[in-house]
Homo-oligomer: A and B are copies of this chain.
Amino acid sequence: MNCNTPTDVTFSFTGFAQRGGNTGDHADGWGIAFFEDRGLRHFVDHLPAVDSPVAELIRRYPIKSRNVIAHIRKATQGLVSLQNCHPFVRELWGRYWVFAHNGDLKDFRPRLHSHFHPVGDTDSEHAFCWIMQELAKSHASVPSIAELTITLKELAARIAPHGTFNFLLSNGQALWAHASTNLYYIERKHPFSEAQLSDEDVRIDFATQTTATDRVAIVVTAPLTVNEEWTAFSKGELLVFVDGQRQGC
């Protein structure tokens, strides 16, 4: 989620968490990260999201954030363990960077010669560390979001041929999303309407929860609601969202 006003994710997370062991088979751990200004709340758990006491806290405690990345894991490479749960976090240029990957990369283990090294043993964390290394090399100081987007497009194009590489990345200022197979987004804005979750019998009327200036973008691997129009990413597309709006680039 990327938005222009701090917003809670309790509605979306309620449906999403069902896919972690209930309506979906992604039951090998989960995680979620919320930016608050430059700060970050980062929760990971190796239990399935449907059974996790930490997930229960997230469903009940409305943490408000402008940038949130959540992930439920189906292990393809690496054991079921806490260090392999997405999203992963690193610091670069005095900001936290958060990364989650859906997919599977084959034969992508480039040498990491800088200061970013995986703690776990997934292909995903290795790819993230390589992205951080290459971003740090490509820009002497903190680049603009537009400059970062150009670099990330180049880097994503180098990784994507190795397999399935749907990813989300945020530094608290923007949300970058890259699709190699399935990724969808929606931009909610005034006039807001009612939405019905796909994974649980829960409805929400966003009109009662929002103001006319609120803008909220959600990016997902499969649409979360049944009565809204979600836009599919093209294969190989990298999009960037700022203040709840897709940026032209």
> Which residues of chain A have a CB within 8 Å of any CB of chain B?
36-46, 53-54, 57, 60-61, 81-85, 89-96, 114-120, 136
Contacts and interface: CB of A to CB of B under 8 A. Distances in A.
A115 B136 contact: yes
B82 A94 contact: no
A54 to B, nearest CB: 7
Nearest to A44: B41
Majority secondary structure of chain A interface residues (helix, strand, loop or mixed):
mixed
Contacts of A43: 41, 43
Contacts of A94: 117-119
A83 B38 contact: yes
24 contacts: A36-B46, A36-B81, A36-B82, A37-B82, A38-B83, A38-B119, A39-B44, A39-B83, A39-B84, A39-B119, A40-B82, A40-B83, A42-B42, A43-B43, A53-B57, A53-B60, A54-B61, A89-B89, A91-B116, A92-B115, A94-B118, A114-B115, A115-B115, A115-B116
Nearest to A38: B83
Contacts of A41: 43-45, 82
A81 B39 contact: yes
Contacts of A81: 36-37, 39
Output the residue of A43, A81, A90, A119 with the most chain B CB within 10 A: A119
A93 B116 CA distance: 8
B119 A85 contact: no
Shortest Cβ-Cβ A-B pairs, 3 listed: A39-B82, A39-B83, A115-B115
Contacts of A119: 38-39, 91, 94-96
A40 B38 CA distance: 20
A118 B93 CA distance: 8
